[in-house]
Amino acid sequence: MSRFSFKQYAPFAILMIVAILALFTPLLPNFDEGKYSAADTAFILIAAALVFLMTPGLAFFYGGMVHRKNILSTMIKSVVAAGVITVLWTVVGFSLAFGDTIGGFIGNPSTFLFFKGVNSGAPHLQGGADLTIPLSLFAVFQLMFAIITPGLVVGAVAERIRFTSYILFIVLFAIFVYSPLAHWTWHPQGFLFKMGVLDFAGGTVVHISAGMAALAGALVLKRRKSHLEHKEVPPANIPYVLIGTGLLWFGWFGFNAGSALSAGSLAVSAFLTTNTAAGAAGLAWMFFDVARGKKPSVLGFCIGAVVGLVAITPGAGFVSIPSSIFIGAIAAVISNLTVSWKQKTSLDDTLDVFPCHGVGGIVGMLLTGVFATKTVNAGGNDGLFYGNPAFFITQLKGAVIVIAFSFIVSFVIFKLVNLINPIRVSDEEEEIGLDESQHDEKYSQGTLLVEERAIYIEKNSPVTEAIS
């Protein structure tokens, strides 16, 4: 009989306790349906589903770029956030992000504890304009953002982080980084919101926070053995990367257009700026590689497109469609150069999360400060390009605050997790691969058999025999 281990049983025990406590949440009737717009409700339901699709899309995107022996472990780390964050958001996360404000820094955890009253809540947030959709729909739309954000961090710590430690990181990151940032930026009483910082769909809350957490994680976990030995790790499955890019691009329409929170012209504008920036960035990355003596690559276009999606996110509903071409192109070039710089250092950010999401998010926030215009969104502001340098300074201050907060708190979280449970796998487990050592599973035996058969046919073909 195996010995009792508190660490082994703790996750299951905590989940069961939460499940039992959930039974005692007071039930309230649904809010008057006549207060809502049917068109807006249908649109945001679809947008929420599109944002959720980005999570498996991210799993394919990351899974295709790691070593074959780490594909499953990388993919599950993105997808498992859908379970962890869903429960956490329902219990306390939504309250921390959008509950009654405590000094503009955090929401009251008791406001929507266990989603108490979310289904019957008035269609507005404290001190904000009325929503035309149910508060419960707003909550689930925001949940999809909360799910994908810690999943983004996976790319920086892939191939060496212990699965159980990663689960603990997700929980602490959501409570102490994501929820406060969402409150600061999107709650009507949040201090960045009141400062005048504009972030349409998550340049700060999602991408800068994930990028800085990725940098912190890479520093805490240190370098992989293959990185120390300067071994090139070829992508395991580039078609996976292409599929992941397509799913991310498709889902991003819900991410950005849905952030208009209504089915109107602003959503259409955000949709178009999103698509335009992604296309421009994919081309810019690929053509910039060619200009530097490389060949045009599938990976290059895919990574560039995602950088463009990241960069346009904060300004999607504030900048014009022509401006989005410049934003996508310049963000791709800057991120490309950052990746090149990173490769000359000892920083082991496995899949370049910091250069792509962190730097891409920063560029997007600053360029929103340059190209935002009230012509597109009367509720926004005019940027530097339209004669308002003060707004650019506001965006710069907001970005600096989020960069510092996200990095420092994430670094502390990674250190704390390491004290509770070793965060890095052993050298032997890293050598075996995390699929087998962490999950007792192996990737795609079918693929291996197909490859082995192809090699056998090639070796035994008449042409080969004739040459022999």
> In a structure prediction context, what are the per-residue pLDDT tens digits for the chain, which is 468 residues long?
456 567 788 889 999 999 999 999 887 777 666 678 999 999 999 999 999 999 999 999 999 999 999 999 999 999 999 999 999 999 999 999 999 999 999 999 999 999 998 887 666 677 776 889 999 999 999 999 999 999 999 999 999 999 999 999 999 999 999 999 999 999 999 999 999 999 999 999 999 999 999 999 999 999 999 999 888 888 999 999 999 999 999 999 999 999 999 999 999 999 999 999 999 999 999 999 999 999 999 999 999 999 999 999 999 999 999 999 999 999 999 999 999 999 999 999 999 999 999 999 999 999 999 999 999 999 999 999 999 999 999 999 999 999 999 999 999 999 999 999 999 999 999 999 999 999 999 886 454 444 544 444 455 555 444 444
Q: What is the pLDDT of residue 9?
A: 86
Q: Total domain count for the chain?
A: 1
So what's the pLDDT on residue 103? 95
Residue 411 falls within a domain, yes or no? yes
Q: Which two tokens stand for residue 309?
A: 């999606």
Distance CA 131, CA 295 (A): 49
Task: Classify 392 as helix, strand or coil.
Answer: helix
Residue 368 Cα to chain centre, angstroms: 19
Rounded-to-integer distance, Cα 397 and Cα 362, Å: 11
- How many beta carbons lie within 10 A of that of residue 461, not counting itself? 11
Cβ atoms of 174 and 375 within 8 Å: the answer is no
What range does the domain containing 350 cover? 40-439
Estimate to the nearest angstrom the gap between the alpha carbon of 322 and the chain centroid. 26
Cα distances from 51 to residues 255, 419, 452, in angstroms, run 5, 34, 38
d(CA 56, CA 247): 8
Residue 284 token pair:
């810019």
Contact between residue 209 and residue 406 where contact means Cβ atoms under 8 Å apart = yes
Q: Domain of 398: which CATH number?
A: 1.10.3430.10
Mark out the alpha helices in 64-134 (DSSP H runs). 71-79, 81-88, 94-98
CA dihedral 113, 18, 410, 425 (to 10 degrees): -170
**3 located within any domain:** no
Give the per-residue pLDDT at 466.
Answer: 46
Q: What is the pLDDT of residues 183-205, one digit of tens each?
A: 999 999 999 999 999 999 999 99
Q: Please spell the DSSP secondary structure of 18-72, one letter per residue.
A: HHHHHTTSPP-PPPPGGGS-HHHHHHHHHHHHHHHHHHHHHHHHHHTTS-GGGHH
Find, among 362, 369, 436, the residue nearest to 402 by Cα.
Answer: 362
Q: Which residues pair with 161 in a beta bridge?
A: 424
In a domain, 34, yes or no: no
Q: Report how far residue 314's alpha carbon sits from residue 412's, in angstroms, rounded to the nearest whole number.
A: 27
- Cβ–Cβ contacts within 10 Å for residue 459, how many? 10
d(CA 456, CA 468): 15
Q: Residue 419 class from Cβ within 10 Å (0-12 exposed, 13-18 middle, 19+ buried)?
A: exposed
CA–CA separation, 383 vs 365, rounded Å?
A: 11
The two three-digit tokens of residue 151, written as one number: 């999943």
Instruction: Kindly list the distances between the CA atom of residue 451 and the CA atoms of 65, 187, 241, in Å, as whole numbers in the listed order.
Output: 19, 53, 19
What are the residues whose beta carbons fall under 8 Å from the beta carbon of 265, sequence distance 6 or more?
Answer: none
Query: Please, what is the angle between helix 298-312 and helix 265-291, to 10°?
Result: 140
Domain assignment present for residue 395? The answer is yes
Query: In angstroms, what CA-CA distances link 87 with 59, 63, 153?
Result: 20, 25, 20
**Does any domain span residue 453?**
no
Residues paired with residue 102 on neighbouring β-strands, in sequence order: 106
Amino acid (one-letter) located at 66:
V
Contacts of 448 (CB under 8 A, 6+ apart): none
Q: Is 10 a member of any domain?
A: no
Hey, what are 30's tokens?
Answer: 């649904």
The amino acid occupying position 67 is H
| C-beta atoms surrounding 56 within 10 Å | 20
Among candidates 349, 301, 352, which has minimal Cα distance to 309? 301
Is position 303 within any domain?
yes
Is residue 464 included in any domain, yes or no? no
Residue type, 119: N
- Does this model's pTM top 0.75? My answer is yes
